[in-house]
Amino acid sequence: MGNFDEDTAFLGQKGPFFALLFFLLNAIYISTGFHGLYIVFVGASPSHHCQVADGNLSEEWTRASIPKEMVNGKLQPSQCWRYSLETVRNLSAQGYSPQDVNLTDLKRERCVDGWSYSTDIYHSTIVSEWNLVCDSEWRVPFATSTLYMGYLLGSLVSGQLSDRFGRKKVLFTSLAAEALVILAQSFSHSWLLFCILYFFVGTFQISLYLTAFVLGSEILSKSLRVLFTTLGAFLHYCIGYMVLPWIAFAIRDWRTLLRVLSGVTVVYVPLWWLIPESPRWLLAQGRVLESEAIVREAAKKNKVTAPEVIFSATEVKEDSSQNSQYSVLDVLRTSEIRKTTFMCLLLWMAINIGYFGLSLNTTNLSGDPFLNCFLSAVTEVPAYIVSTFLLKSCPRRPVLSAFLIIGGGFLLLVQLIPESLHTLALALEMAGKFGFTMSFTVVYIYTAELYPTVLRNLGIGMCSSAARIGSITAPYVIFLGTFNKYLPYILMGSLTITSSIANMFLPETFEKVLPETLEQMQKCKSFIRRDKHGLEEGKGSISMKEHTAGNKYMNE
């Protein structure tokens, strides 16, 4: 195939074509921010207590019918128990007042008449509508996990679909399907249907996220590629995350909220005519004329002159005959690719367990939940900005290992902090989350640079599947804290430190040209492996001539 970056170098690194695509692809990521996290408000549990359905009781006896319980050091009304309504009725009929009776000696019963929910903050949520409290409380985190289960399926399927049918078709199909499923979810008549639909929301959302990521990696210039896959994608995801609480603040009913979030997707319809197919993918499929047409259009918009022949037909024909179809087996075919894949899977799983584990382990903050959500999103912005600037001038491998050591190391230190120093323990936990957030940024672009064009989307899809296993596992890791509160920190910290060591065995991709074929990927691995002992010419290695040419291009 030759080299796409070299063949299209005449386009330059900047220009209207790249700037427009950079803006449009980032705009798509804003939707992923509020579509992926609306469960925070839709699944919120309002303050509640047992319903006391007896109009003959006085207001005093109605309030006294709810026992007081100590929760987190505070005395508050029980959410799952009430005093026996029959007993309370008899006492009230005999003329007793609550002050005349030792209420703690009264018989208790479950909320057999349902619950009464506060509407001070939320007018309606799935919790208040379907009584997902007390014995049914597990249904809320399970509903949340169905999104990650959908991520798992979407990660496995979307890569193969976009490698087969094209990035653009899968991107906009996922965007439309996600909006329609969210709309259907707003009409759910049961918790089970809500969960089933939420599963498909996750499937289409991760497909949208990954396909847009790969499309941007393949179609943008080298300088914008790093900016898009780091600060661009993640920061615009944060923008959606920050916008969500204000939409939820204005719309307190969960069904209306979902319909509004679904309707926002309409603004993306014109993008179908503005975002082209990946010319790299078209070239990998042997569709030279279509790929050249997009490149020539890019040259026209950038006001540069394209050569008469952009891609060599003989090279494309030879390459497409070898790379027409790829599957998951190709990611595991050779020992070099297999080792790279296994280490990437470990990295993605460890990062997700740590990130989501810390997110789930953070206790509910006091104060306004909408403001808390906004501040939570804002705290991730510095991590994305710092990692973006480091990626521009630093090698990927040591940077990722350093962030992982920061994340895991601070977690391992938490167990050494005395009980009285709560602020210091919280600071260490937040520092650990800061490290995991930066690791998220690096691992995406690092993985995209490791795999060749013909397997890039498939490789990232597999890694994202491992990430989803990590996010599904995270709640159970945190559950270990019921046995020993330091156990989750020890487990997450140890796993992260281990993954940082495994990361050092991956090849460096900084200032390397993106591989196009399996052969180029394997050569890169052989070159990295021999880097300590000098270059070797011959089968499975990169010649000195190729190495010099590559460095010359990168310097230009």
Q: What is the pLDDT of residues 227-254, one digit of tens each?
A: 887 678 888 988 998 899 899 999 999 9
Q: What pLDDT is attached to residue 325? A: 60
Q: What pLDDT is attached to residue 312? A: 67
Residue 345 forms part of a structural domain: yes
Rounded to whole angstroms, how far apart are CA atoms 82 and 69? 11
- Cβ distance 157 to 459 under 8 Å? no
406 vs 454 pLDDT, higher one: 406
For the cut 60, the answer to whether the pLDDT of residue 166 exceeds it is: yes
Tell whether 381 and 480 lie within a shared domain. Answer: yes
For the cut 80, the answer to whether the pLDDT of residue 80 exceeds it is: yes
pLDDT band at residue 536 under the 50/70/90 scheme: very low
Of 262, 290, 319, at which residue does a domain stop?
319
Helix (H, G, I), strand (E, B) or coil at 342: helix
CATH number at residue 37: 1.20.1250.20
Residue 125 forms part of a structural domain: no
Residue 546 forms part of a structural domain: no
pLDDT digit string, tens, across residues 176-199: 999 999 999 999 999 999 999 999
Tell whether 177 and 235 lie within a shared domain. Answer: yes
- Cβ distance 12 to 220 under 8 Å? no
| Tokens at 80, concatenated | 């799952």
Residues spanned by the domain of 104: 48-117
Helix (H, G, I), strand (E, B) or coil at 153: helix
Strands (E), 3-67: 48-50
Phi, psi for residue 94 in degrees, rounded to 5: -85, 0
Q: What pLDDT is attached to residue 175? A: 94
For the cut 50, the answer to whether the pLDDT of residue 215 exceeds it is: yes
Tell whether 40 and 52 lie within a shared domain. Answer: no
Domain count for the chain: 3
Of 86, 117, 148, at which residue does a domain stop?
117
- Cβ distance 217 to 448 under 8 Å? yes
pLDDT digit string, tens, across residues 298-343: 888 888 877 777 776 555 555 544 444 666 676 677 777 788 888 8
Q: What pLDDT is attached to residue 447? A: 86
Q: What pLDDT is attached to residue 73? A: 60
Q: Give one DSSP letter per residue of 131-168, joined into a string.
A: T--GGGTTHHHHHHHHHHHHHHHHHHHHHHHHHHH-HH
Rounded to whole angstroms, how far apart are CA atoms 283 and 319? 9
In a 13 Å sphere around the CA of 51, the CA atoms on its Cβ side amount to 12
Q: What pLDDT is attached to residue 414? A: 82
Given its phi and psi angles, is residue 180 left (phi above 0), alpha (psi -120 to 50 degrees) or beta? alpha
pLDDT digit string, tens, across residues 26-77: 999 999 888 888 888 898 888 888 888 766 788 788 888 888 887 656 788 8
Q: What average pLDDT is seen over the chain?
A: 80
pTM: 0.75
- Cβ distance 296 to 282 under 8 Å? no
Helix ranges (H only) for 303-421 are: 313-322, 328-331, 335-361, 369-378, 380-393, 396-414
Maximal CA-CA distance, the chain: 101
Tell whether 264 and 384 lie within a shared domain. Answer: no
Average pLDDT over residues 272-298: 85
| Tokens at 327, concatenated | 């599957």
Rounded to whole angstroms, how far apart are CA atoms 101 and 88? 10
Tell whether 490 and 380 lie within a shared domain. Answer: yes
